[in-house]
């Protein structure tokens, strides 16, 4: 039973750790930095917690129950507190380090106390006891690490998942103090521990009861208006605002946020997706088109409007976004019900993995549209590599074209495409309402795209080609397509 308690507490501790990493990645991006800060601070704090726990090994059962109650309180409320700090106070990094330190201290105190309890139950060699305890601890961490992305996050969300983990943590501590070692604490101490555990559970329950109102208030402040849809998938947080109800019911007022970053602004989405797709569709065959990403269906709508398109395959890894693109009334209005068109086939898969396993002979595409997250985001970096573009080239039919939204990575995208044998041509498009949408800073309302092919592109696709000067001042082999598209 002591090993079971170690197993459960290790699972809970890792869930707290992953909650902090995931929240930091959603709010600030740069998941590598967030994970590095949380892991390094927590591991250091665990060492300090283990040293401090030596003073409490005389009453290990009562001390363990108290540590688990405190850990449940701090870990369970950590997501709500950090989210509130980010939205209203603006001192998120300081709060993140503080919570990571507190959680690490309490997790570190568990091992010496559990070791002492094991020795009281059964005297054995220190090496054997350590092996048993660490085995339970590491297997529990495995279960917690798998439960977080596959169960807690997609089904409960971050706030509720952290609160439920806190309740489980409290129960594990109570199992030790009130059952296995109920003779150790004095009656008054046992009463105080029971009150402490009960207060923690009540606080967590009250936080759960108010989490909905808290999240709505925080999202309203964060996104500048009422949130119409808030969904948590295994891959990202999906927020839809505007477009239905309220003062502005127009679909043009809708905005789609993926993990806190604006992905679609209703005012500008038609212009953006037209500029993304038209040059690739102009000139040459376009019977079969592949869209990598694009689960909102907006790129598919523009493609279906082109004459001669017979088949569109949309490869999107997030089934929740695909479902919203099909069922949500506002997104469905924006995409013209494109995902329900019989010519459209949707595939739920990671674009990189799907390209690796798709048989080349069965999938020759005339046009491939990379409607993917912007380069520079950790999760999207693999979608802008030489390996990825090499897989894309294998899927292009003779004379096929690829188009990529390069954002501010225009030169590196063009050079990477050239490295796999594709000839890149960069073109610019002015965002009509990009500044108003908050997508781009004032004075920089421009989108950068790269059109590439393994063969010479027809004249109809290369209108108004002009040389583009690289930042060094030397002429570039990358051309720019300027003028109306």
Is 343 within 8 Å of 311 (Cβ atoms)? yes
Q: Give the position of tokens 């092919």.
A: 453
Q: In 265-385, which residue ranges form alpha helices assigned H by DSSP? A: 269-281, 298-304, 319-327, 329-335, 351-357
**How is the beta sheet containing 261-265 ordered, strand by strand?**
227-232, 237-241, 255-258, 261-265
404, β-bridge pairs = 370, 450
| Among the listed residues 157, 207, 206, 186, the one whose alpha carbon sits nearest the alpha carbon of residue 19 | 157
Q: What is the three-class DSSP state of 344?
A: strand
Q: Any idea of the CA torsion for 338, 341, 347, 348, to the nearest 10 degrees?
A: 50
Separation between Cα atoms, residue 315 and residue 428, nearest integer Å: 26
Both tokens of residue 423?
């000839």
485 in helix, strand or coil? coil
Q: Is 425 annotated as a binding residue?
A: no
Residue 341 appears among annotated catalytic residues: no
| Set 30, 371, 378, 433: catalytic member | 371
Q: Say whether 283 sits in a helix, a strand or coil.
A: coil
Q: Tokens 């568990």 map to which residue?
A: 110
Whether 328 has a binding-site annotation, put simply, is no
Torsion of CA 66, 11, 233, 348, to 10 degrees: 180
Q: Two tokens at 298?
A: 């907006």
Pairwise CA distance, residues 352 & 228, whole Å: 31
User: What whole-number distance in Å separates Cα of residue 316 and Cα of residue 290?
Assistant: 11
296 is in an annotated binding site: yes
Do the annotations mark residue 232 as ligand-binding? no
Catalytic residues: 371
Residues in binding site for S-methyl-5'-thioadenosine = 236, 316, 350-351
Residues in binding site for spermidine = 273, 296
């Amino acid at each position: 039973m002591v090993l079971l308690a170690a197993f459960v507490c290790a699972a809970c501790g890792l869930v707290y750790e992953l909650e902090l990493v995931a929240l930091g990645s959603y709010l600030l991006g740069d998941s590598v930095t967030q994970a590095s800060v949380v892991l390094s601070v927590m591991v250091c704090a665990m060492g300090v917690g283990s040293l401090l726990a030596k003073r409490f090994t005389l009453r290990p059962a009562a001390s363990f129950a108290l540590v688990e109650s405190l850990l449940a309180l701090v870990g369970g409320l950590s997501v709500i507190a950090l989210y509130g700090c980010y939205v209203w106070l603006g001192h998120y990094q300081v709060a993140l380090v503080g919570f990571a330190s507190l959680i690490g201290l309490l997790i570190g105190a568990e091992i010496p106390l559990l070791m002492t309890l094991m020795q009281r139950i059964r005297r054995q060699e220190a090496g054997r006891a350590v092996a048993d305890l660490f085995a339970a601890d590491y297997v529990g961490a495995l279960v917690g690490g798998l439960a977080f992305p596959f169960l807690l996050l997609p089904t409960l969300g971050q706030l509720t998942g952290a609160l439920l983990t806190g309740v489980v943590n409290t129960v594990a501590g109570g199992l030790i103090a009130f059952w296995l070692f109920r003779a150790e604490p004095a009656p008054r101490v046992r009463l105080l521990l029971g009150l402490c555990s009960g207060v923690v559970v009540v606080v967590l329950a009250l936080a759960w009861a108010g989490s909905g109102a808290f999240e709505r208030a925080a999202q309203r402040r964060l996104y500048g208006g009422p949130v119409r849809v808030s969904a948590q998938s295994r891959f990202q947080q999906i927020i839809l605002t505007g477009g239905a109800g309220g003062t502005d019911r127009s679909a043009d007022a809708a905005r789609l946020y993926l993990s806190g970053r604006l992905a679609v602004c209703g005012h500008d989405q038609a212009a953006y997706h037209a500029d993304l797709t038209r040059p690739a569709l102009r000139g040459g065959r376009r019977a079969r088109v592949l869209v990598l990403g694009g689960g909102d269906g907006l790129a598919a709508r523009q493609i279906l409007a082109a004459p001669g398109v017979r088949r569109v395959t949309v490869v999107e890894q997030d089934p929740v976004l695909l479902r919203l693109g099909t069922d949500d009334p506002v997104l469905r209005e924006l995409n013209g019900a494109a995902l329900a068109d019989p010519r459209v086939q949707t595939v739920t898969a990671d674009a990189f993995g799907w390209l690796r396993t798709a048989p080349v002979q069965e999938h020759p595409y005339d046009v491939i549209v990379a409607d993917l997250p912007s380069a520079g985001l950790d999760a999207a970096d693999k979608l802008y590599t030489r390996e990825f573009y090499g897989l894309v080239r294998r899927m292009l039919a003779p004379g096929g074209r690829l188009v990529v939204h390069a954002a501010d990575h225009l030169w590196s995208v063009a050079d990477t495409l050239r490295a796999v044998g594709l000839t890149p041509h960069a073109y610019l498009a002015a965002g009509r309402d990009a500044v108003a949408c908050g997508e781009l800073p004032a004075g920089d309302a421009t989108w950068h795209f790269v059109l590439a092919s393994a063969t010479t592109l027809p004249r109809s696709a290369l209108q108004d080609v002009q040389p583009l000067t690289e930042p060094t001042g030397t002429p570039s082999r990358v051309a720019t397509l300027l003028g109306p598209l």
